């Protein structure tokens, strides 16, 4: 923004100038261009409010509304394989984004004092960013919710302890990740390491940020609610966290296999069970009729009651057939019996 528009007076800033700047920037960096356009629009909206200009010149249709394509998700096995392909100095830098859902800048900003091995936690208080001018800046995390304390999964703790012993100096402010020369690691170094790892496992479509994306997707698939995803990922609003609650290919395949089981055998078993239950239902209906059951109308089997029986059997059978392994297991729904519903209706009528 500053190199092109920084020296232009507000009164001379026209929609054509903004449009030209925006289009040139978006040709090179789509996401960065949209972010810069939104910032400029917000600044000029404030100028309009303050009476410095009459109208906001940000009138580029469609600018600032980029919707990123769905990012790919790495599997646990792929991340483990990628870790094995990089030197030991860099392995923890791949594990932390995936298993602790840290941003790249948050990983590079970690210091020894941020690690609590007594409680197995890490504290995120700073991040390393590299602006387009090539400089390295250490500042606060990306969002107001970025400062947080996270529990480290047990499978990462051995690598964390080994990394602290071998590659981190003893002083409290020592960086967790440094180059072989002992200088603080910069984002371009970590990006280069990940590019080598992704080629080694045959996943050239995975960017370094996709490690964090994959970890948050795993957390969502394990059943974590939106509030916990927001805290884990350091999100300030739920919109960013909701994007990780999409269906994964593994879960989609599990659901498809469960549906296929209905066609191959479960439907036949359900049909046999209902046919066998029809005669039994007749015996029960006579007994219910003799007791003047409210749903039997004194005339044996009631069609609504029979429909409820079939519906309940189908629902419970369908739930059992969708028993998906591990975290994706679906609970069997609890359906009230016809008599329980009748009692509830009677109680409702008594209430004035």
Q: Which residues are catalytic?
A: 103, 209, 212, 235, 244
CB-based contact 147:140 (threshold 8 Å): yes
Q: What is the DSSP letter of 148?
A: E
CB-based contact 94:84 (threshold 8 Å): no
Calpha distance 148→101 (Å, rounded)? 12
Backbone angles phi and psi of 178, in degrees to 5: -135, 165
Q: Which H/E stretch holds residue 139? A: strand 137-139
Which is nearest to 219 in space by CA: 105, 65, 98, 319? 98
Q: 62 vs 26, 42, 337, CA distance in Å? A: 12, 16, 55
Which residues, in sequence order, are bridge partners of residue 150?
A: 122
Calpha distance 192→177 (Å, rounded)? 14
Sign of CA dihedral 7, 10, 15, 19: positive
Calpha distance 146→125 (Å, rounded)? 8
Backbone angles phi and psi of 148, in degrees to 5: -160, 165
Calpha distance 245→243 (Å, rounded)? 6
Render 36-73 in DSSP notation, one character per residue. Answer: HHHHHHHHHHHHHHTTS-SS-----TTTT---PPPPP-
Calpha distance 24→37 (Å, rounded)? 12
Calpha distance 312→322 (Å, rounded)? 16
CB-based contact 186:134 (threshold 8 Å): no
């Amino acid at each position: 923004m500053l190199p092109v528009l920084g020296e232009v007076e507000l009164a001379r800033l026209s929609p054509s100038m903004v449009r030209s700047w925006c289009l040139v920037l978006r040709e090179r960096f789509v996401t960065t261009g949209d972010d810069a356009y939104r910032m400029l629009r917000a600044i000029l909206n404030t100028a309009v409010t303050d009476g410095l200009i009459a109208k906001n010149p940000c009138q580029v249709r469609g600018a600032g509304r980029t919707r990123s394509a769905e990012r790919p998700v790495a599997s646990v096995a792929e991340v483990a394989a990628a870790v094995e392909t990089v030197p030991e100095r860099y392995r923890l830098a791949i594990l932390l984004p995936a298993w602790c859902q840290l941003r790249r800048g948050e990983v590079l900003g970690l210091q020894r004092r941020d690690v609590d091995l007594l409680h197995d936690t890490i504290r995120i208080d700073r991040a390393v960013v590299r602006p387009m001018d090539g400089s390295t800046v250490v500042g606060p995390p990306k969002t107001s919710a970025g400062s947080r304390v996270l529990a480290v999964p047990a499978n990462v703790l051995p690598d964390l302890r080994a990394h602290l012993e071998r590659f981190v100096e003893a002083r409290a402010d020592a960086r967790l990740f440094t180059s072989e020369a002992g200088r603080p690691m910069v984002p371009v170094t970590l990006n280069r390491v990940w590019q080598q790892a992704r080629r080694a496992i045959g996943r050239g479509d995975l960017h370094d940020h996709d490690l964090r994306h994959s970890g948050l997707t795993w957390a969502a698939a394990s059943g974590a609610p939106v509030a916990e995803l927001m805290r884990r990922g350091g999100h300030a609003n739920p919109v960013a966290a909701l994007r990780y609650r999409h269906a994964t290919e593994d879960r989609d395949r599990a659901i498809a296999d469960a549906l296929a089981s209905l066609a191959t055998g479960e439907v036949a078993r359900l049909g046999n069970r209902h046919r066998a239950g029809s005669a039994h239902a007749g015996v029960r209906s006579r007994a219910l009729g003799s007791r003047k059951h409210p749903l039997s109308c004194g005339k044996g089997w009631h069609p609504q009651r029979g429909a409820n029986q079939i519906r309940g059997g189908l629902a419970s059978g369908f739930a059992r057939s969708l028993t998906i392994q591990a975290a994706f297991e679906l609970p069997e729904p609890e359906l009230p019996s016809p008599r329980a519903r009748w009692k509830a209706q009677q109680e409702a009528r008594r209430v004035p």
